Chain A
Amino acid sequence: MILAVPVQALFGQLLIGLINGSFYALLSLGLAIIFGLLNVVNFAHGALYMLGAFVAWFLLEKAGIGYWPALLLAPLAVGLLGAAIERTLLRRLTGLDPLYGLLLTYGLALILQGVFLNFFGSSGLPYEMPTQLQGGQALPFMFLPNYRMWVIGVSLIICLGTWAVTEGTRLGSRLRAATENAPLVSAFGINVPRMITVTYALGVGLAALAGVLAAPIYRVGPLMGADLIIVVFAVVVIGGMGSILGSIITGFVLGILEGLTKVFYPEASNTVIFVVMAIVLLVRPAGLFGKQA
């Protein structure tokens, strides 16, 4: 027993924290990549996560296309939309104060949410879980749904994969170089504008993937992104803006921290992350994994 909570129950809570952390990690990863290269605080991230879930829902309802193809199609569709947003809107703001990008993406998020709220209401829509992932495992300390295990797995693979690509491949090294000094990199003959478009599309594609993963367990609703995005921003700030590894680790760790708060003091479970953020900002203003200025 720890503080009147059985150790076995604690294992269950840690695991649940890890599941929520998977979503935080996937979303904050995309934000970190986008901020790193574009210097844009992408406030539309939550709305694009919501859009990912809705694309999956549309595919199922209107075209009979199930979960597995949606896992690929939805991020692709949202990624293309992201590319269009970058080409037509964000590009005009290059070189300006990051505040402009923040305002633009925040406006986009409000428009997307408003439109969906108007047509679908706030309660959301049901999305059937794929039959292969229904059911669960009876562990000694809890019943673990198969689908949640799948979420952890996918998230870990995607996060580590992205990290490996940016750290270990040629593409990654160009990306990192362009982050440091874009004019110099383009002087070497690398098409930096195209790389920026691809990066933005990739980042929002990750958000859409998280949306499809969330669709069967949460409601597919216009506000699903708005509820999550503020927490995810706190995660990115704690991890260090633009730090890819930082955002992944912080995502998982804060998920667990939040899970534990739900056991020991549930009333504070939606504020604990912000308390941590305030402390980190006081002690290390650049975030846990950020470069100190």
Chain B
Amino acid sequence: MNARIALLLALALPLAARAEITGKVIRIGVLNDQSGLYADIAGQGSVVAAKMAVEDFGKIPDATVEVVFGDHQNKPDVGSNLARQWYDVDGVDMIIDVPTSSVALAISQLTKEKNKVFIGSGPGTSDLTGKSCSPNTVHWTYDTYALAHTTGLAEVQSGGKTWFFLTADYAFGAALERDTSAVVKAAGGEVLGSVKHPLNTTDFSSFLLQAQASKAQVIGLANAGGDTINAIKAAAEFGIVKGGQKLAGLLVFISDIHALGLQTAQGLLLSESFYWDKDQKTRAWSKRFADKSGGKMPTMVQAGVYAGVLHYLKAVKALKSDADGKAVVEEMKKLPTDDPLFGKGTIRADGRKIHPMYLYEVKKPSESKGPWDYYKLIKEVPGDQAFRPLDQDNCSLVSKK
């Protein structure tokens, strides 16, 4: 019996003690939607961004950095299985991106179990740094709370007091509706109703008729990607906006605007934490990105992957080890963030990356100088106002203090 325990300890010892780069390779797994309705938001673009970050970071002593990628098909079970294989068999040390909140919540849980690192760039749900927060997770680019407090707040402040939501029927849609409803109610507004539609819906006309019948001033689109595009197109066709109701796209990406065309999308308010044409640095980086991506400009999710990988490598280099995921994330929180795309920022105790959010309005076709010239800046919301205050988090990592 004792011999057995000794043997187990002997086997376990190297696992616990190895403060080094495991296998001399830092393996980064980009996990996202490669073929479905979110593939333009994240997809191959995120892989390109991760590889650019590895290239730009330069050498790490005694280690090489590899990037692998996989398609989670927006299904939590598919994503978990792939991540499990990556962690257990393929030696992946960190998973990044993971749009689709339902998948991201599963990956965050699994990453904690395996003591690896998860950096969410694609997912929206603010629960990742709230009630489901984890010492192994960093949430980088945006979240539903921030969207509600930029786009949502702006719509309420410009007079939209009564709301009706079209909500994607999964974790992200529910979180976005919840966080936006809170903003609406806090400002004295009223939510008249909502309808939950299945993810990846082609025809929104039926749901829009219900929204129209509610007579709400604002129709809030708590969905993303292809769903948002379809909803906005159908709203234009069915004369919703001409009838005096306003559409609020609560999460709209530049790839969506590109697919809609300015004719349909003009005047839409949206919030992003990154826009390629923001300043000299973002333009320079985006041009490089576009050259590698068939001319497509990056979305904020792809930018977040770049910045997240850079900061992760910074932490691993400082620790000289990628073995203990929790320790790496602690180091990431300790080091200030600084990259050409999001500027200077911090990562809070709950794993929330803090940077400004920007409220943009989509240009009229006459104002645009050409493809991808789509946004006018309305205002900058500082990070401490855009993101949820720590004391409202309900995150166990914070209340322990």
Residues 109-134 of A, flagged 1 when their CB comes within 8 A of B and 0 if not, give 00000000101011111101100000
Tell me, in angstroms, the Cα distance from A262 to B206 when the chains sit together: 7
B238 touches A (CB below 8 Å):
yes
- On whether the beta carbons of B261 and A117 are closer than 8 Å, the reply is no
- On whether the beta carbons of B209 and A9 are closer than 8 Å, the reply is yes
Q: Which of A126, A259, A271 contacts B206 (CB 8 A)?
A: A259
Query: Interface with A: B56-64, B107-115, B225-233, B310-318, which one?
Result: B225-233
Tell me, in angstroms, the Cα distance from A128 to B40 when the chains sit together: 22
**Chain A: CB-nearest residue to B294:** A119
- On whether the beta carbons of A13 and B230 are closer than 8 Å, the reply is no
Total count of chain A residues near the partner, CB < 8 A: 40
**Chain A: CB-nearest residue to B234:** A217
- On whether the beta carbons of A217 and B209 are closer than 8 Å, the reply is no
Tell me, in angstroms, the Cα distance from A122 to B253 when the chains sit together: 13
Tell me, in angstroms, the Cα distance from A224 to B230 when the chains sit together: 11
B85 touches A (CB below 8 Å):
no
Tell me, in angstroms, the Cα distance from A219 to B257 when the chains sit together: 12
A95 touches B (CB below 8 Å):
no
Query: Interface with A: B76-84, B117-125, B191-199, which one?
Result: B191-199
Tell me, in angstroms, the Cα distance from A267 to B170 when the chains sit together: 10
* Contacts known (A218-B230, A267-B169, A270-B201); A121 close to B37, Cβ less than 8 A: no
When distances are taken between beta carbons in the complex, the residues of chain B under 8 Å from A263 are 206, 210
Q: Which of B196, B205, B255, B260 contacts A121 (CB 8 A)?
A: B255
Tell me, in angstroms, the Cα distance from A281 to B283 when the chains sit together: 58
- Find residues 18-60 in chain A having any chain B CB closer than 8 Å to their own CB: 19-20
A142 touches B (CB below 8 Å):
yes
- On whether the beta carbons of B225 and A123 are closer than 8 Å, the reply is yes
Tell me, in angstroms, the Cα distance from A224 to B38 when the chains sit together: 14
- Find residues 181-208 in chain B having any chain A CB closer than 8 Å to their own CB: 195-198, 200-203, 205-207
- On whether the beta carbons of A122 and B197 are closer than 8 Å, the reply is no
- On whether the beta carbons of A145 and B210 are closer than 8 Å, the reply is no
Q: Which of B198, B203, B256 contacts A123 (CB 8 A)?
A: B256
B296 touches A (CB below 8 Å):
yes
Residues 3-20 of A, flagged 1 when their CB comes within 8 A of B and 0 if not, give 000100100110011011
When distances are taken between beta carbons in the complex, the residues of chain A under 8 Å from B226 are 122-124, 219, 221, 223
- Find residues 113-169 in chain A having any chain B CB closer than 8 Å to their own CB: 117, 119, 121-126, 128-129, 136, 142-143, 145, 147-148
- On whether the beta carbons of B296 and A121 are closer than 8 Å, the reply is yes
- On whether the beta carbons of A266 and B35 are closer than 8 Å, the reply is no
- On whether the beta carbons of A217 and B237 are closer than 8 Å, the reply is yes
- On whether the beta carbons of B296 and A143 are closer than 8 Å, the reply is no
Tell me, in angstroms, the Cα distance from A142 to B202 when the chains sit together: 20
* Contacts known (A122-B35, A143-B238, A143-B239); A266 close to B197, Cβ less than 8 A: yes
Residues 31-43 of B, flagged 1 when their CB comes within 8 A of A and 0 if not, give 0000111111001
Q: Measured between C-beta atoms, what is the minimum distance from B306 to chain A in Å?
A: 19
- On whether the beta carbons of B230 and A267 are closer than 8 Å, the reply is no
Q: Measured between C-beta atoms, what is the minimum distance from B311 to chain A in Å?
A: 28
- On whether the beta carbons of B261 and A126 are closer than 8 Å, the reply is yes
Tell me, in angstroms, the Cα distance from A136 to B209 when the chains sit together: 15
Q: Measured between C-beta atoms, what is the minimum distance from A21 to chain B in Å?
A: 11
- Find residues 249-301 in chain B having any chain A CB closer than 8 Å to their own CB: 255-256, 258-261, 263-264, 294, 296
**Chain B: CB-nearest residue to A266:** B195
When distances are taken between beta carbons in the complex, the residues of chain B under 8 Å from A17 are 206
A179 touches B (CB below 8 Å):
no
When distances are taken between beta carbons in the complex, the residues of chain B under 8 Å from A219 are 226, 229-230, 233, 259
Q: Which of A117, A123, A147, A266 contacts B259 (CB 8 A)?
A: A123
- On whether the beta carbons of B201 and A126 are closer than 8 Å, the reply is no
Residues of B within 8 A of A (CB): 35-40, 43, 169, 195-198, 200-203, 205-207, 209-210, 213, 225-226, 229-230, 233-234, 237-239, 243, 255-256, 258-261, 263-264, 294, 296
Closest 7 CB pairs of A and B: A123-B259, A126-B261, A122-B39, A262-B206, A270-B198, A123-B40, A121-B40
Question: Can you give 19 contacting A-B residue pairs, CB < 8 Å?
Answer: A13-B206, A17-B206, A122-B40, A122-B226, A124-B226, A126-B259, A128-B263, A142-B209, A145-B237, A145-B238, A145-B239, A147-B237, A217-B233, A217-B237, A221-B226, A223-B37, A263-B210, A267-B196, A267-B197
Residues of A within 8 A of B (CB): 6, 9, 12-13, 16-17, 19-20, 117, 119, 121-126, 128-129, 136, 142-143, 145, 147-148, 217-219, 221, 223-224, 227-228, 259, 262-263, 266-267, 269-271
11 additional contacts (CB under 8 A) given A123-B40, A219-B259: A19-B205, A117-B35, A119-B294, A121-B39, A121-B43, A218-B233, A224-B202, A227-B200, A262-B207, A263-B210, A266-B169
